[in-house]
Structure 1
Amino acid sequence: MQLFYTPDLTDNSPVYYLNEEESKHCIRVLRLKKGDKVQLIDGKGGFYEAEIIDEHPKRVALNLLTQQQEFGKRNHYLHIAVAPTKNIERLEWFLEKATEIGIDEISLIICQRSERKESKAERLNKIITAAIKQSLKAYHPVLNEVTPFQKLIIKPFSGQKFIAHCEPGEKFDLKSKVKPDGRYMILIGPEGDFSPKEIEDALQNGFEPITLGNSRLRTETAALGACFEINYLNR
């Protein structure tokens, strides 16, 4: 059964119309017809099954048959703040895979050693949307605007806060610190790592220093490793 992303869908709408882009994909690409069944996700936890009642290629009409709220809701909340990679394709890869594994919020942070200081949010959100459809997730991760590191670390966050870095000093494994069923924010730096001052500032704002192993990891690999480990520890 085919899946469509419908962020403006409400659970009290008996009939719903796909937007032009999704309608074109439904009729012109997938060749679906009146009477065919489809699945819908609203990005807020709603999962629906519907039937095509009008196969208009610009405005497909659907009759909602069943609905389920909090579909696939996880027992924790994960926010990863990561410096955009110089090669934007590596960041895109991270967003795709992290969405498939399970993540709730992503912040792109500009650090002292950042080599990329901008990104195209529309394209990145499309990658996230494609990933939730591929992995059958009803929650769409939030992608925040690019934010300076110093501004992000002072924002309130109700949960555990960690910073992964490669500088010498005491660091902990996530498994020794993570409290199950919790809320977590993890900072991942640029290719040149966080500066010593950034690390110190993060620690003074309640972040705990962590290690992701003995290997030197690329930014996107470190971010995905943290994402996987948090999900694994909450199984």
Structure 2
Amino acid sequence: MELFYNSNIDKNTKKFILDNEDVKHILRVKRKKIGDIIEFTNGKGFGFECAIEKIEKKKIYFTIRNSVEKKNSNNLHIGICLLKSSTRFEFFLEKATEIGIKEITPIISKNTVKKNINVVRSKNKIISAMKQSLKYSMPKLNNLEFFESFCTNSTEESKFICTCRNIKKIPISKIIKLDGAVKFLIGPEGDFNNEEINHSIKNRFTPVSLGNSRLRAETAAIIVSSAFSTFK
């Protein structure tokens, strides 16, 4: 099975026209013809069984025969500081999508070296990972946010911060079965500084330990994502 993406269709859509780069792939690589069935998702929890109704040079006309809803039950929101390496940050985006978390916010903290993100490229990485892993949902990628405002504006009951600093922390094994929305903060290279840790605790973030190993930021974020997906 191969999954294609169209953000413009929903459960009320009956017909649609595809006119993007997927047309060439469907016709020349997959060699599909009129009457063949193609699977689509809108990335919002819906999958669609679509029949090819008409083919033009750069367009395919589809009729939706059936739809199924498969909402993501994972309510994990990860705020992760931008990394010096875009490749490593994008690796996390792909794995978080495959695992199936709900939301990702790129963060700028005091020790963050990189101050910008290629939003279009990042969203394309997420879409590609969703299609390859046959998911009907993808994480919402929020706008870049500063650490202080991310902490202050967090209204979730369950909020945690990962840090390597020698302070009192609870093990992640104690919280992975929490119900409801959960928010995690993952630091940059060099970790959060003391001022940031204190600011997060003031805003009711609880420090968490991921074990005895010192982890890269993207590894920590993937461990958190996997833990909340596997043990729910």
Could you tell me how far 1:179 is from its partner in structure 2?
A: 4.3
Counterpart AA for 1:34 = I
Could you tell me how far 1:180 is from its partner in structure 2?
A: 3.3
Counterpart AA for 2:142 = N
Q: Is the 1:4–1:39 Cα contact (8 Å) retained in structure 2?
A: yes
Q: Is the 1:92–1:124 Cα contact (8 Å) retained in structure 2?
A: yes
Could you tell me how far 1:3 is from its partner in structure 2?
A: 1.6
1:198 alignment partner in structure 2: 196
Query: Percent identical across equivalent pairs?
Result: 38
Q: Give yes or no for the alignment of 1:150 onto 2:170.
A: no
2:162 alignment partner in structure 1: 164
Encode CA deviations 1:66-92: one digit per residue, 9 max, x unaligned.
1112x1x34330100101111110011
Give SS of 2:215's match.
coil
Could you tell me how far 1:182 is from its partner in structure 2?
A: 2.1
Could you tell me how far 1:227 is from its partner in structure 2?
A: 0.6
The runs of at least 4 aligned residues of structure 1 exceeding 6 Å deviation read: none
Q: d(CA) in 1 for partners of 2:62 and 2:52?
A: 5
- The total of aligned residue pairs comes to 232
Q: Is the 2:158–2:183 Cα contact (8 Å) retained in structure 1?
A: yes
Match of 2:213 among 208, 212, 215: 215
Counterpart AA for 2:33 = K
CA RMSD of aligned residues (A): 1.4
Encode CA deviations 1:30-88: one digit per residue, 9 max, x unaligned.
3322121110101111111011111224221111111112x1x3433010010111111
Q: Is the 1:20–1:57 Cα contact (8 Å) retained in structure 2?
A: no
Bigger mean CA deviation after superposition, 49-58 or 162-171: 49-58
Could you tell me how far 1:157 is from its partner in structure 2?
A: 2.7
Q: d(CA) in 1 for partners of 2:64 and 2:175?
A: 44
Counterpart AA for 2:65 = L
1:56 alignment partner in structure 2: 56
Q: Is the 2:15–2:61 Cα contact (8 Å) retained in structure 1?
A: yes
1:67 alignment partner in structure 2: 67
2:33 alignment partner in structure 1: 33
Q: Give yes or no for the alignment of 1:224 onto 2:222.
A: yes
Change (3 A) 1:25 1:108: same
Could you tell me how far 1:140 is from its partner in structure 2?
A: 1.9
Q: Is the 1:75–1:181 Cα contact (8 Å) retained in structure 2?
A: no
Q: State TM-score, norm by structure 2.
A: 0.95
Give SS of 1:190's match.
coil
Give SS of 2:152's match.
coil
Could you tell me how far 1:194 is from its partner in structure 2?
A: 0.4
Q: d(CA) in 2 for partners of 1:177 and 1:140?
A: 24
Encode CA deviations 1:160-186: one digit per residue, 9 max, x unaligned.
100000111100112213443321110
Q: d(CA) in 2 for partners of 1:159 and 1:233?
A: 19
Give SS of 1:20's match.
coil
2:14 alignment partner in structure 1: 14
Bigger mean CA deviation after superposition, 15-24 or 91-100: 15-24
1:76 alignment partner in structure 2: 74
Q: Is the 1:27–1:57 Cα contact (8 Å) retained in structure 2?
A: no
Q: Is the 1:163–1:188 Cα contact (8 Å) retained in structure 2?
A: yes
Q: d(CA) in 2 for partners of 1:177 and 1:187?
A: 15
Q: Is the 2:81–2:187 Cα contact (8 Å) retained in structure 1?
A: yes
2:175 alignment partner in structure 1: 177
* Long gaps (5+) in structure 1: none
Bigger mean CA deviation after superposition, 103-112 or 15-24: 15-24
Give SS of 2:21's match.
helix
Counterpart AA for 2:202 = Q
Q: d(CA) in 2 for partners of 1:156 and 1:199?
A: 15
Q: d(CA) in 1 for partners of 2:41 and 2:160?
A: 32
Encode CA deviations 1:118-149: one digit per residue, 9 max, x unaligned.
11010000000011111111112111111111
